[in-house]
Every structure is written in C-alpha cells, then in structure tokens.
Structure 1
Amino acid sequence: MAEDDPLAWETLDSEVAYSCPGFDIYHEDVRLPNGTKTDFDYLTEPESVAILPFTEDGDVVVIEEWRQAVSRISRGLPVGGVEPEDENLEASAHRELTEETGYEADRVSHLTTVEPANGIADSVMHYFVARDCVPTGEQELDHNESIRSMTTTYDALKEEITADGVYDGRTILGVSYYETFGSDE
C-alpha cells in the first residue's frame, strides 16, 4: 500500500508499551490525513497457522482448549504461531497440528490468508487443509496450553457452528471458507 495514499496515516513516534510472551502492544503517535495528531495502540504478534485437519476416514480433528479471556472451554481447529525455525508455512502447519493434537498429516494445502482483526492488531492467519491425518503420538503442548483433541464428522462440526455451539472466530472462518470455496481436492 502506498504511503502517499491520501488515506494513509503518518507515524510520528512508535514504542512498545507492553511486552509479554506471544505478543506486544505498541503505542504510536500519528498524524491523520486531515492533519490531526492523535495516538493509536495495537497488538503485534507473529503470523499464525490454522489447520482444518481431516483423518483418513474424512472426520475432522478438533480441539477443546481453556480460554482464560472468556473463562470457558473453546472448541475449534488447531491454531498456533509460526516459529522462526519453521522452514515454511506448510512446516508450521504440520508442526502445530502434531503439537496440539498428536496427529500428523500426510499433506497440507493452503486454503487462504486473512488479517482477522486489522483494526486493532497486525495479526496474519494462514489457513491450511490437512489430509489423511493419523494419530502418531502425544501432544507437545506449550507451558500455557491445556488442550484436549478429538474427532468429529465434518457435518457435525458445521451443524455445531450453525447452532451457535462454536464461538471461535478462527474456526468459523476456516470452515466457512472451506465450505464456500473448497480446496484443491
């Protein structure tokens, strides 16, 4: 995007206002196109991958995870951050699927990439479809994760979303996109 676009804001100063494992909060002083000076805060985090994993039998591997921000268990797709040592985004998808579920995929294919909250964060989410997933071992959860994995039918997952039984926006977006546009298979 061109910085000389008439809608562009000018960043006058930028600093990390708060930092913790997983994300930072930036505070910026900016000038709006009409000349007004104001400030803006946003969350910055590494890119992430979300995986819609299908077993060899066509079921979907889903997770249930405690989400402290909403004080309840959230059901959805495995999602995790891209690590610097990952060769590429496909490697990130393979790694995150195994870490969070104990399943490994024969192959993954890119579905879409979105900025899920670009009004308040610079988050980038890469969606993948994983095929022929098989359970191969134990989960390798991060120190701050409590996750249970299980399988369900794709139709049951869609019905659960339709009945307002899944609140995780990343999951709803991934399944909706897959349902609307499909994948390479």
Structure 2
Amino acid sequence: MSISGPGFCRKLGPSQMRFQLSIGVRRSSLMIKPWEVLSSKIELEDRWIKVRADDCQRSDGLIIKPYYVLEYADWVCVLAITPDGNVVLTTEYRHGVRSIVTGLPSGVVDKEDSGPEGTARRELLEETGYTSEHMVPLGSLYANCTNQPNLVHYFLARDAELTGTPALDANEQIDVELVPWEQVRSTPFLRQSHHVACLHLAEKYFDVCSPATIV
C-alpha cells in the first residue's frame, strides 16, 4: 500500500483535506489465474448476510468444492476527534468473541444511506451523539479477501462535537468515552482489525496532510 503523488492532499475548505489512498498491485510470476466458478448455491440469506457455496475449478484442473463466500454489505469505520484532541471511543459487548470490546463507531452501509459517508455520519450520531462538519475519507480496504467481497470504508471526523443523543438499536448497549489521541495511539485500546486500520490511516493523514496539528 503506497501513499504518494502531488494530488494526495487537496484542500476542500478551511480545515478539511481530502486524503487519497492508492494501492499498488504486485504482478505474480506464477501466472496465477482466477478460479472458474462451475456452480453456485445460496445456502442462507437474510437481512444481514448471504452465504454462498461455490464449486470452483483452478486453472490446473483442481476442483474445489464447496467454497463458502460470506456476502455482507459494505461497512464503515469512523475515527472521530474532538476540537481538544480527544478520540470518541465506544465500548460494547461483542457476542462473536463473547467479550466487552472498545472500538470506534462503525456499522453497515444501508441502501437508504447516501453512500458510505452518509453511513459514517449516521453511525457516528446514532452510536455517540457526535457529529462533524469535516468528514475526511481515508480510503477503503477489503474486509477479508479470503471469503468476503465487501469493503470497509474509513473516515476521519475532525472537530467532532456532541450535538445530539445516541439512538441505539434495540440490541445495542454502548458506553461512549473520550480518550486523548496520543493515548489511543500508544495504548492497545482497539482490538478489531479494521478499527486498527482506521487508526493507522488517520496517522498517515496527519503525518502527510496535517503534520502540525491533529485538530
């Protein structure tokens, strides 16, 4: 992953910058080719996930079946920083790991949202009550290339202010905490991989686009 080029940062307003991420692709000398999908079957589908079973054939003739693909909608992850340099963190129970985990505001891109940035704004407000007039896109990465085609879209919410009350889903219980930026950087608060990725992309943004200050 490389971050470079004269158009890397482009000023959009007094305190907002556009962060552009370019991803380099290495060409393999092994002549690796995509698998041929011989057949597909939907094993499970609901509002959250679609489980697809593919029967595939490699270019050398090897048959791989079934190969399960988990089709999720795209996700967003938001690193919100207040004017005085605190990061807005959320703590909630995560049943997948049966643990209480601290992380960043995040969620699923709904069809009703006006794209990933709209989702980022909605999730930030719904989970924390915070909003930001300076939402900076940090880039998008695959959630899990092995068996998930969805992307995670990362955003930096600068000058985040508490302007409302959280509107949680019925199954959500979220505590909101403000932690200084330097403490978040130096302490392993974040234990989810895409939340850590968001933190590192924000660090790159500050290093390249706004090295003097984080607010």
Check whether TM > 0.5: yes
Q: Deviations over 1:66-124 (max 9, x none)?
A: 10011111111111111111122221111111111111112201001100311121120
Q: Is structure 2 residue 61 aligned with structure 1 residue 38? A: no
Q: Which letter maps to 1:18? A: L
**Superposition pairs of residues 56-75 of structure 1, within 5 angstroms:** 56-75=83-102
Partner in structure 1 of residue 104 of structure 2: 77
Residue in structure 2 matched with residue 50 of structure 1 by the alignment: 77
2:9 pairs with 1:9: no
Residue 132 of structure 1 corresponds to 159
The match for 2:54 is 28
Deviations 1:9-31 (A, max 9, x none): 11111122122432121111111
Runs of 5+ unmatched residues, structure 2: 1-30, 211-215
Share of identical aligned residues, percent?
Answer: 28
Q: Give the secondary-structure state (helix, strand or coil) at the position aligned to 2:127.
A: helix
Aligned-partner Cα distance in 1 for 2:92–2:46:
21
Contact 1:99 1:141 in 2 (8 A): yes
Give 2:111's aligned amino acid: P
The reply to whether residue 179 of structure 1 matches residue 206 of structure 2 is no
Q: 2:191 aligns with which of 138, 161, 167?
A: 167
1:12 corresponds to which letter in structure 2? Answer: L
Structure 1 Cα separation of the partners of residues 209 and 70 of structure 2: 33
Does 2:123 match 1:99? no
Return the offset for 1:152: 0.6
Q: Secondary structure at the match of 1:7?
A: coil
Once the 2 structures are TM-superposed, how far is the Cα of residue 179 of structure 1 from its aligned partner?
1.7
The number of residue pairs the alignment matches comes to: 178
Bigger Rg over Cα:
2
Q: Using the alignment, how far apart are the partners of 1:147 and 1:45 within structure 2? A: 23
CA distance in 2, matches of 1:86, 1:171: 21
Structure 1 length as normaliser, TM-score?
Answer: 0.88
Moved beyond 6 Å, runs of 4+: none
Runs of 5+ in structure 1 lacking a partner?
none
Aligned to 1:167, what secondary structure does the other structure show?
Answer: coil
TM-score relative to the length of structure 2: 0.77
TM-aligned CA deviation for residue 142 of structure 1: 2.2
Cα distance in 2 for residues equivalent to 1:15 and 1:184: 46
